[in-house]
Amino acid sequence: MEVLLPLRFKGESVLVLDQRLLPREEKYVERYDLEGIYESIRSMELRGAPLIGIAAAYGMVLGVQNQSFTHPIDLLEAVRKNAERLNRARPTAKNLFWATDRLVRLVERNIDLPVEEIIYRMRAEAIKINEEDVEICRNIGENFLKVLRPGMRLLTHCNAGALATYRYGTATAPMYLGQERGWNFQVFVDETRPYNQGARLTAYELHRAGIDATLICDNMAAMVMSKGWVDAVLVGSDRVAANGDAANKIGTLNLSILARHFGIPFYVATPTPTLDLDLPDGSRIPIEERDSEEITHFQGIRVAPEGIKVFNPAFDVSPHENITGIVTEKGIAFPPFQSSLKALAEAPFLTGKG
């Protein structure tokens, strides 16, 4: 199976696959500094909570490695400012804050070391975050396969795939592992308006991998479910609150309501860094609003009347009561989520175990 990597760290720069151009063109943009990574995240050259976290970690390294610092305290001040800058790029994705905070805390712990050594350790930590993501996603896939069966018909929304992480994806991880094992899943892919991540990205990568995928418009999901063609809904997440409320790409809430109505299992794929157990429920999750032109224009051409008011939230929150299970790299959380998520968050990650 050919792997399309969404970014590549080159030491002095990061190559970013510009996902805005897919599926028409596979083009990498080279980013040399923190502002370049900030722009890649903000403009959605790269997207997906885990991948945003990886990119932010590398951005923290690029932001200091070619700078001159007379004292480690100066480095720490710069690292904290850089974290604040990157955190403003996309406010909903928990992994962004998790990654930048991880680098800040590393510098704080090593403040007595020479500047060069601290930056070396920052680079090693960013690479470690990248490598961890591959194993996290594979383990999410392994855990998913415990509740799925060969030949099942799945439905997914947006892109929680290999392009949203570094490899395998989260909600798509069982699809890739199933492909390797001959499970022959059939996958319905929501187009995911208004940015069309499902049509442009998920359909592209699944089809490229030889997985049986069918693209549908978002407003066709109810009909497909009503015909009994969907055995389970698998979606990703950008932040999950302590009670199990899960934020994901706009339109996921619709699917959770439909799945509950039709009695279809609704699973949320969530790496534990995406958990935000400090938030009691989903009402506290900040929801990013994006430019109105994503709705009023198509390929640069206006398709809505001038002056029309636009509401364009990038995410919505599916309530915990609509969720069958939350699948992490450490295991699956089932209701009541308040206790099961806390137990998983505190459990060790056993390398190589599903």
Q: Which residues are catalytic?
A: 238
Residue 195 is classified by DSSP as T
Closest CA to 163 of 209, 227, 194: 209
* Lookup: tokens for 210: 């030889």
Alpha helices in 146-275 (DSSP H): 173-180, 197, 203-208, 221-226, 252-262
Residue 190: strand, helix, or coil: strand
Q: Which helix (H) or strand (E) holds 267?
A: strand 266-269
Q: What are phi and psi of 247, to 5 degrees?
A: -90, 135
Q: Which helix (H) or strand (E) holds 63?
A: none
Q: Which residues contact 29 (CB under 8 A, 6 or more apart)?
A: 15, 16, 18, 40, 45
Q: What is the 3-state secondary structure (H, E, C) of 128-181?
A: HHHHHHHHHHHHHHHHHHCCCCCCCEEEECCCCCHHHCCCCCCCCHHHHHHHHC
